Structure formats: structure tokens, C-alpha cells
Chains A and B, each alone.
Chain A
């Protein structure tokens, strides 16, 4: 029947999904190492293979749906904390974590020591160095810009920092962890480690506020379109046509 009705509905549904994504960015405004996701829209047809359709058919089926979200990997603010085991990464790269389900990657450097004096994440998972888990003896801990860990001037280990090949799709897993496909993992080359600092969330409040307003208004617009299809067309069909 009214294909426009479905178009407007698809648009509205896409806006609600986009709002959900936005809600997650706002909720994580204080999460260390958090990377915001930004939604984008695409036409429904772009998911399917080109098909034989008339231009009219193509035009009316080209409605916009939420195409996906891209992870915004731009850096967050680096904030000094003064804690020796806090580290921030400047540049492209990820810390490598031995999580329960395998290797995970994170930008959140809020590490601490466990009872065995191993460097662990807030979750208690081991942070990996060049020689596996990092055991830190008592003393003055210092981590240099290239990730070399020393205690009282004696070399202990080196933080292992990985990077993803360009255009790799990262999967966010929660707990500040990301999954990178094994084939795409390589050594980070352009990264600097900053001890005593943390990289905060890159969720941008201005962009978020503007997006909320924009979403709300476009949703209203879709609603207008929906009610026109719903009310006006039906009215025409049921009331005007019999008169003619």
C-alpha cells in the first residue's frame, strides 16, 4: 500500500536506535579509555545486491535505515592522576590484556597490582608485557615513554602495545575491552606511554547535545509524515472518493 508509510516508519525506528547509541556515549562520559560510537544511516537497498527494478521501484524502496556505527578512535583527554600504576597512551595503540575469554585490547590504563604484585586491570585481568605477565618488585616504579618498566632503576619488563591494521573493525566488549581480529594485530609504532596519567572518555558533550536535539526534531518530522499518511490519505480514500 503506502510505501511512504514504511519509509517514514523506518526513519523513525532508525532514530530510536541512534538515540540508544547516544545514550551509551553520554552514560560513559566518565569511563576511562572509552571510545564513543557514532551512528550513520544508509539506504535499505545498499544491503542487497543490485536487482532488476524499475527506477520507481528503486526510488520508493530506498528508504534510510541505521546502517551501522563507527567507533570514534580519536584520543580522549589525558588527565594526570599521580598514581604510579596509571598509564595513558598517546597515539595509536592498545594495551594487551589476558582476559578470561582470551586476549583483549584496551585504552584504559587504570592498572593496579594484585596480591602477587602482578600488573592487572580494574577487572583483575593480567596486563601483558614483552615476556607475558608483568611482575613488579617493591620499590619506586617508573614507566618510560616507550613502555619500559623499571623499579629503583632496575629493568623489569616492557609493556606490550599493539595496534590494529588500518580499517580494522574493532568489537567493543564492555569492561573497556575491545576485540581485534588476530590477523589485524600488529605492533604499535607511533605511541608514547605517559605514566601517572589516564586517558578519559572521548565522548564529546557538545556533539552529543546537538545530536539529541537533531534526533528529536527529525523523529518529530517522521511522525508528521506518518500521521499524514495515516490520517489524510485514509480520509481521502474513505470520504472523498465515494463523493466522486
Chain B
């Protein structure tokens, strides 16, 4: 009887977590480069009252066992690595990656973080930075006098200087990829850090053999949140929560029945 209460409570807990995850996905529906997460659930351990195949006598075995499961738990929240839609903005420093690579940016601590959000700007000294002011790595400086910035599919950054006929190359953007990008550690601000689960970053020039993808200038990758899908998840979470609460109610009533058994 106690088991039923705790089992249903574990179900309610996982559904609440499910709803919290949906809330975060929906809240980030318009976040550039955001990738939605999906919760993965598992069943908990089983209490074997009669193990399937246990001997009922020396000659015979029980055809079916009696195992009572003890509920569910959330095992992981997987990042869905699907490409988001591209929005053309026309801004020369808005970049999208067509492929699985990440931009590398340097945090104030000196650590390298990885992002899909390609909304870059210039800092006062002309260095390319993210909207939080973190430098794109390797650092690229755009001369103040430049009239035009062109970023090629392979990451080559070139500028047009006044009075010059040929454009001048000022650097190359490098991208990084991971064996298991789903294992990156999200730290907010559209940034992720490498972990032992993700493996070491494999950096290279866009369009190379590492499968980093190519860079497209003048567009941004919107989030890959599927609003309709999230609504369906929300309904499912709510109804499952209700079903679990029904079990709590039923267990409570049966309890009450026993307690009401007067002498």
C-alpha cells in the first residue's frame, strides 16, 4: 500500500520535471541557436515477490513471476541536435553553420566555450565578439576603416578598405565539433562547455573533412523548438500527472477503508 503511494509520487515527480523541461523549451523558442531538450524516463527497480521461472516444486516452475515495479525516474535530458530554421538578417556579422560545428568563444576566465548562436558584433577595438562580449576564437580584428566585411563558406574573413581595389584577408573563423555533442554541458548564454562525455573538441576550417559544416553570412539559426510538439508534451504531462494523482487517491481510500475497520 505504501508502495503504491510512493510509486505514484515518483510518477508525479517525473511528469512535473517533464513540464519544467517543456517550459524551458517554450521560453527559448526565439533564442538564437537554442536546441531543445527532451527528457528520457526509465523504470525504477522491481521488487520480485515471485521471480519468473522460480521453482514451485522440484518438477515445475512458476510460469509467470510476480514483480512489482517501484515507479519511474528521469534519466537524462537529451539535446536534440536538429538544425533550426535560418532567418536572413542581412547583417554581415550574423553567421549560421550549415552542419554540426560550433563557434568557439573565449570566456572571461580564459576557458573556451562553444555556441551555435552566430549573432556577432565588434568591440571598441574591432575584434569580433558575441553579444555578451566574449571573443570569437581565433580572434579576428576588423579594421575600423573597413567598408565591407565578407565571410566565405570556408570561414575566410576579408574586408574592403577605402582606396584599395582588392579585398584584404584578415583571418579565418574555425569551428569545432564533438564525438557526442549531446554530452556538452550547457551553461546558459547560448554557451556550452566540453565534458568527458562529449569528448575533446575537433577544431578545423569550415567545409573540411571533420564534418563541421560551412558558414553562411547574413543569416541566423533560430531555435529548433517545435511549439506544437511542446504543447502535445504539455498535455501529456498534465494528463499523466492527473492519472498518478488518481492512484494516490485510490491508495488513500483503501487505506482509509482499512483504518475504518472497527472492532
Contact = CB atoms under 8 A, between A and B. Distances in A.
Interface in A100-130: 108, 110, 112-117, 122-123
Contact of A26 (B11, B52, B180, B199): B11
A26 B43 contact: no
Interface stretch (A54-62, A88-96, A209-217, A236-244): A209-217
Interface string B241-263: 00110110011011001101111
A34 B14 CA distance: 15
Contacts, number: 208
B76 interface: yes
Nearest to A116: B179
A186 interface: no
Contact of A29 (B197, B243, B250, B251): B243
A26 B78 contact: no
Contacts of A31: 41-43, 72
A159 B177 CA distance: 26
B4 A19 contact: yes
A167 B18 CA distance: 36
B184 to A, nearest CB: 11
Interface of A: 12, 15-17, 19-32, 34, 37, 40, 47, 49, 66-70, 81-83, 108, 110, 112-117, 122-123, 138-139, 167, 169-176, 181, 205, 208-209, 212, 215-216, 219-220, 223, 226-227, 230-231
B46 interface: yes
Which interface residue of B3, B8, B72, B210 has the most chain A CB atoms within 10 A? B72
Contact of A138 (B210, B239, B247): B210
B199 A171 contact: no
A125 to B, nearest CB: 12
Main DSSP-derived SS at the B contact region: mixed
B261 to A, nearest CB: 6
A191 B176 CA distance: 38
Interface stretch (B61-69, B86-94, B163-171): B61-69
Nearest to B46: A172
Interface size class of B (residues with CB under 8 A): 35 or more
Nearest to B51: A171
B81 interface: yes
17 contacts: A20-B3, A20-B4, A28-B11, A28-B43, A28-B71, A31-B42, A37-B68, A68-B63, A83-B82, A110-B78, A112-B180, A169-B52, A171-B51, A174-B44, A174-B45, A230-B263, A231-B262
Interface of B: 1, 3-5, 7-8, 10-11, 14-15, 18, 38-46, 48-53, 56-57, 62-72, 75-76, 78, 80-82, 177, 179-180, 182-183, 196-200, 210-211, 236-237, 239-240, 243-244, 246-247, 250-251, 253-254, 257-258, 260-263
B40 A32 contact: yes
A82 B80 contact: yes
Contacts of B258: 12, 223
A122 B75 contact: yes
B64 to A, nearest CB: 4
A108 B43 CA distance: 11
Given A24-B70, A172-B43, A174-B43, A114 B11 contact: no
Contacts of B81: 83
B72 A117 contact: no
Given A31-B43, A138-B210, 11 more contacts: A15-B254, A17-B68, A30-B41, A34-B43, A67-B64, A114-B180, A115-B183, A115-B198, A172-B69, A215-B250, A231-B262
A174 B210 contact: no
Contact of A115 (B11, B43, B197): B197
B254 A171 contact: no
B177 to A, nearest CB: 7
Contact of B244 (A26, A66, A231): A26
A81 B15 CA distance: 19
Which interface residue of A23, A28, A49, A226 has the most chain B CB atoms within 10 A? A23
A173 B46 CA distance: 6
Contact of B66 (A66, A113, A116, A205): A66
Nearest to A66: B66
